[in-house]
Structure 1
Amino acid sequence: MSIVKKELLRYFVEIAYNGKHYFGWQRQPNQMSVQQVVEEALSLILRSEIKVVAAGRTDTGVHAMQLFAHFDCEEIEVNERLIFRINSFLPQDISIKNILRVTDDAHARFDAVQREYEYRISLGKNPFNFDLTYQLYNKPNIEAMNQAAKLLLVHTDFQCFSRSKTDVKTYICKIVKAQWEERDDILVFTVIADRFLRNMVRAIVGTLLDIGFGKTTLSEFQEILNSQDRSEAGASAPAHGLYLRRVVYPESLFL
């Protein structure tokens, strides 16, 4: 008697997480990752070995308000109960927000057309978000940092902000928004691009803060951009202030 295998369908899972207790998104030997926890919960509830491919890899300590990953499995009925059951097996700092049926060739990483990051800085000591923002006790010059941020919009090669010894094939990124704004006692940097390099946002933030504190001039910032040398840029801002806020896909992917 032959066993008929059921067709595998592709789904996107929408995930949010606090990255404080994880060694980044990607699975690593002997370290706890968000990917491992999500795969184990999905596999348990869907009763099948589930492997997910994410839109990107957040580093140790970085958070995500919205990250998509795709996986293949037999047809499932997506409803509130299913989402609730999966979340009940996840720790409090990881949440499944939705599961969406997509085309069979949809790819969470390669089909993303835009990604948005947010970096949050507390201006002063705040006991309620000390581990979710980078705390500064002196206010940087926001106008100067925004002047420098405008240069990012007309630049395309960001090797100077890329982690060294990386295996990327190109350092070209198209940034469409880079702006600082003050929200009460929180300073927020929003940056949107088609793609980002490893450590890129934190390196940008650290370098812009050097401008905000008068350590680097606008002309020196332009020289850093042109240098293609990570050692010319500033130190990376701490991971716990960084959030992947949004990932955008073509509507045609969703069924």
Structure 2
Amino acid sequence: MKARYLTFFSYIGTKFRSSEKIWLKGGKNYPDLESIQGLLEIGLLKLRPLNYPNLTLSSRTDGGVHALNSTAHFDLERYGTKVFDPEYITYELNKFFYKNETSIHVKKCLRVSDDFSARFNALSRTYLYRLAVVKPDIVLPESNIISSYIPIEEWKRCHFIRFPGFDIEKFKAGAKYLVGYHDFTTFKKFDKLTSHKQNRRYLHSFDVKPGQPLVTSYSSTQDSLFDYWDIKIKGRSFVHNQIRRMVATLISVAIGKIPPEEIKVMLQVPSKHSWYTFIQNCPPDGLYLCNVDYNPEDLVFQPVDIVKETEDLEESDKK
């Protein structure tokens, strides 16, 4: 019997090529040790299902990007009329990841309806970008690279920068233009294969608040050289590299290279030619997928016969 499941999981993406597998000409039923999707599929194969457990990710992230709560759905088939228990799947996956020292943790699995899609049923996605800026009153030797001052706990977990005159209020002023329904072509990494796709997206919110360093009790007694900022962004979906390029542009606004109002122009004239080449895209280290929201009713498993019976009743009421 075949059943569909939704899994909620976290990962530290530093060592992975990406969350998604590379598609090969021979098909998609192959193991991939360098992606989140591939490793989850390998873990599911340990259950010995009758089918290859192709995973459908709700969100695709680049190498180095982390996730606090991502989701994916998959089908599992087994002999007889029984299906795999969701708690058993969770346990076996985490045992596999722990044994192989893999930085993926499965929070839970749910059985969902056969037509449920982790990607298309998602109502919104929330991302966090962690930024750390050298404090205005701190003077560091120009000859020293900034990585010399990064706390070891923060290695590959946050984006550290030092720019004299960094103004967080200008950063916030520029961010206001990004909220709403816009064509984000300017903020998309140019790719000939996807250049024909439309890039209009609705950004629900773009919030900038003071953050906290990830430190131990020992490190917390030391003087911090940085101001930490949490940049929380919520939307239905995003174009490739949109968040990292938006943050990079706002850093240029904060240091006075472009005025906040220029963000509005970059949205009104959506083109790769509206992108300033001096803007360096932010690294993936500071980016986290925080949550994927669904309608709670969509997460309730409904057997096919119950769904059909409900549809028949609705049809008879119409008559």
When the two structures are superposed, what TM-score results if normalisation uses the length of structure 2? 0.73
1:193 to partner: Cα distance: 0.5
Equivalent residue in structure 1 for 2:93, among 75, 82, 86: 86
Matches within 5 A, 1:98-177: 98-124=108-134, 125-138=150-163, 140-165=166-191, 166-167=193-194, 169-177=197-205
Number of residue pairs matched by the alignment: 248
- The aligned residue for residue 37 of structure 1 is 39
Aligned amino acid, residue 186 of structure 1: Y
- The alignment partner of 1:148 has SS state of helix
Quickly say closer, same or farther: Cα 1:47–1:235, change in 2 above 3 A: same
Q: Mind listing any 5+ residue stretches in structure 1 that lack a counterpart?
A: 1-5
Contact 1:122–1:136 (Cα < 8 Å) also in 2: yes
**Structure-2 separation of matches of 1:148 and 1:34:** 34
Q: Secondary structure at the match of 2:290?
A: strand
Cα distance in 2, alignment partners of residues 70 and 105 from structure 1: 10
Residue in 2 that maps onto 1:212: 254
Partner of 1:3: none
Distance in 1, Cα, partners of 2:126 & 2:46: 31
Partner of 1:68: 71
Given that 1:180 and 1:189 are in contact with CA atoms closer than 8 Å, whether structure 2 keeps it comes out as yes
In the aligned structure 1, how far is the partner of 2:268 from the partner of 2:108? 42
| Counterpart amino acid of residue 190 in structure 1 | K
- AA partner of residue 132 (structure 1): R
Structure 2: segments with no counterpart, 5+ residues: 25-31, 78-82, 135-149, 213-226, 301-319
Deviations for 1:155-201, whole angstroms, at most 9, x for unmatched residues? 41111111212526321111111021112442111110011111110
Letter in 1 for 2:107: K
Aligned partner (choices 228, 243, 251) of residue 288 of structure 2? 243
Q: TM-score, normalised by structure 1?
A: 0.90
CA deviation string 1:222-243 (max 9, x = no partner):
1112221234333321011111
**Residues 61-98 of structure 1, C-alpha deviation per residue, up to 9 Å, x if partnerless?**
1111111111111321122x542321111134111111
Q: Percent identity?
A: 26
Q: How many angstroms does 1:46 deviate by?
A: 4.8
CA distance in 2, matches of 1:198, 1:99: 28
8 Å Cα contact 1:23/1:31 also seen in 2: no
Say whether residues 1:12 and 2:6 are aligned partners.
yes
User: Displacement of 1:54 after TM fit?
Assistant: 0.5
Partner amino acid, structure 2, of 1:144: K
Give SS of 1:70's match. Answer: strand
Kindly provide the amino acid, as one letter, of the partner of residue 53 in structure 2: I
CA contact 1:140–1:212 (8 Å) conserved in 2: yes
Task: Please give the alpha-carbon distance, in whole angstroms, between the structure 2 residues aligned to 1:137 and 1:239.
Answer: 18
Query: Which position in structure 2 is the counterpart of 1:52?
Result: 55
In the alignment, the residues of structure 2 paired with residue 183 and residue 45 of structure 1 have an alpha-carbon distance, to the nearest angstrom, of: 41
